Amino acid sequence: MTDVKSGMSTSVRQSFYYYVSSEGDSDSSQGSGAYIFRPNSTEPVSLCVDKLISFEVLKGDISHEIHQQCTSWLSQVIRVYKDERAAEFEWTVGPIPYKDKVGKEIITRFDTDIANNGTFYTDANGRQILKRIRNHRDTWIYLSEDPISGNYYPVNSRIFINDTTGRQLTILSDRSQGGSSITDGTLELMIHRRIFGNDDRGADPLNETGQFGDGLLIRGSHYVMLTMVSEAAKEHRSLAERLYMATTPMFTENNVKDWHELYKTSQSFMTRELPANIHLLTLEVWNETNLVLLRLEHQYEIGEDIELSKAATVSLKDLFTIFDVKSATEMTLSVNQVKNDAKRLQWRSLKHPEFEDLVDNSVDAESIDINNITLTPFQIRTFLLIVQKR
């Protein structure tokens, strides 16, 4: 895989495997199930044998595709889009074979030459990035009794590895999954499971038979990009925003001409773009016709990007095409209190010197300057706006 923009490359091997589900052993009676992931071996079983994979290459003006068939129940389409830095891996898995009564927990794995030295990163709810170290916990001595499941973490939107050469491989998922970097240079994500044993946690065996009685079929996508570490946050945060805020396809029997005549199909409600690191999180009518709820979020952490991790300022004056903002009251995130009325627990914390002077909690929440609203890294600010329709 080569990033055309930077010229940076890494060798990549992507394939599918499955862990055999444990039903308990001499070390522990705990089996794998709906709530527990416990494989019976540290080595997964390969599902794709190179000489048996059938594939077809399709080239078009918008994208190039490779259609792969690994098994009768597992296939994949790899797409590289024009002017996009991420490749899409769309997989279709299932129904998982069941006649052998062997529980199978399916993963996709990317093997690279990136020397990540036991360290990888996962996100928390699409925002904060958390550092993970294999076989390590920050607050206690970790004993590796289950080296696979003990190193699995929630991946809500992305997982990545990088190394001292400045390379970073990032995978964005279209749903929450479990993932890890079990060995250096690898990233894996679990995409499907079918288990016939019980983990004794109150749920039935994870053997859903689906519409036709033979099991569930799942289709999903991963978006894989290779970038320099210095620009990785800019790329994966902007791509994640486009993926998770994507438009919904709609269909009609009307022809296009009739549809345009009947409905307004394109309208902008903003007069200008927001700063590149600010996202309009919420904009909705609130109780009354002249009251609007507004939430703005800063999308970058401190130090993630040399420019986009800086504080940003937004003016609400003449920002919207459909109304004018007359005044603003800052509220708590849940909008049940004026911000200055909220009584917070006081925690000991280390202030970051670059931003400690930007937040002034003594400012009257009733007198917000709508021309000068500043957001620091990862800050979300909530306002009730009094507006006048145009």
Average pLDDT, the chain: 90
pLDDT band at 353, cuts 50/70/90? low
Read out DSSP for 127-164?
TEEEEEETT--SSS----SSTTGGG-EEESSEEEEE-T
Statement: residue 52 has pLDDT above 80? no
What is the spatial distance between Cα 160 and Cα 151, in angstroms, rounded to a whole number?
Answer: 14
- Give the SS3 label for residue 52: helix
What is the spatial distance between Cα 341 and Cα 361, in angstroms, rounded to a whole number?
Answer: 11
User: Per-residue pLDDT tens for 281-308?
Assistant: 999 998 777 899 999 999 999 999 999 9
What is the spatial distance between Cα 333 and Cα 328, in angstroms, rounded to a whole number?
Answer: 15
**In the predicted model, what is the mean pLDDT of residues 13-22?**
95
Residue 48: what pLDDT?
86
* Total number of residues shown for the chain: 390
Residue 163: what pLDDT?
95
Residue 362: what pLDDT?
45
Which range among 240-249, 302-311, 351-360 has the greatest average pLDDT?
302-311
Rg (CA), the chain: 25
Statement: residue 359 has pLDDT above 80? no
Q: What is the DSSP letter of 9?
A: B
Domains in the chain: ranges and CATH: 12-244 (2.70.98.30), 278-389 (2.60.40.1360)
Statement: residue 363 has pLDDT above 50? no
Place of tokens 């438009």: 247
Which two tokens mark 224? 């894989």
Q: What percent of the chain has pLDDT over 70?
A: 95
Report the run of H or E that residue 367 belongs to, with start and end: none
Statement: residue 215 has pLDDT above 90? yes
What is the spatial distance between Cα 319 and Cα 278, in angstroms, rounded to a whole number?
Answer: 14
Residue 360: what pLDDT?
46
Statement: residue 361 has pLDDT above 50? no
- Give the SS3 label for residue 245: coil
Poorest-pLDDT segment among 45-59, 160-174, 345-359: 345-359
**DSSP H helical ranges for the chain:** 229-244, 256-262
CB–CB of 352/302 below 8 Å? Answer: yes
Residue 355: what pLDDT?
58
Place of tokens 């891996």: 89
Statement: residue 348 has pLDDT above 80? no
Statement: residue 57 has pLDDT above 90? yes
Q: Are strands 128-133 and 86-93 parallel, antiparallel or unpaired?
A: unpaired
Q: How far apart, in Å, are the Cα atoms of 277 and each of 92, 233, 294?
A: 35, 11, 17
Statement: residue 340 has pLDDT above 60? yes
User: Per-residue pLDDT tens for 118-167?
Assistant: 999 999 988 899 999 999 999 999 988 899 999 999 999 999 999 999 99
User: Per-residue pLDDT tens for 67-76?
Assistant: 999 999 999 9
Which two tokens mark 60? 């078009």
**In the predicted model, what is the mean pLDDT of residues 264-278?**
89
Report the run of H or E that residue 73 belongs to, with start and end: none
**In the predicted model, what is the mean pLDDT of residues 15-23?**
95
CB–CB of 32/54 below 8 Å? Answer: no
What is the spatial distance between Cα 84 and Cα 225, in angstroms, rounded to a whole number?
Answer: 9
Residue 248: what pLDDT?
84
Statement: residue 191 has pLDDT above 50? yes
User: Per-residue pLDDT tens for 243-263?
Assistant: 988 888 878 787 878 888 888
Poorest-pLDDT segment among 290-299, 312-321, 347-356: 347-356
Statement: residue 219 has pLDDT above 50? yes
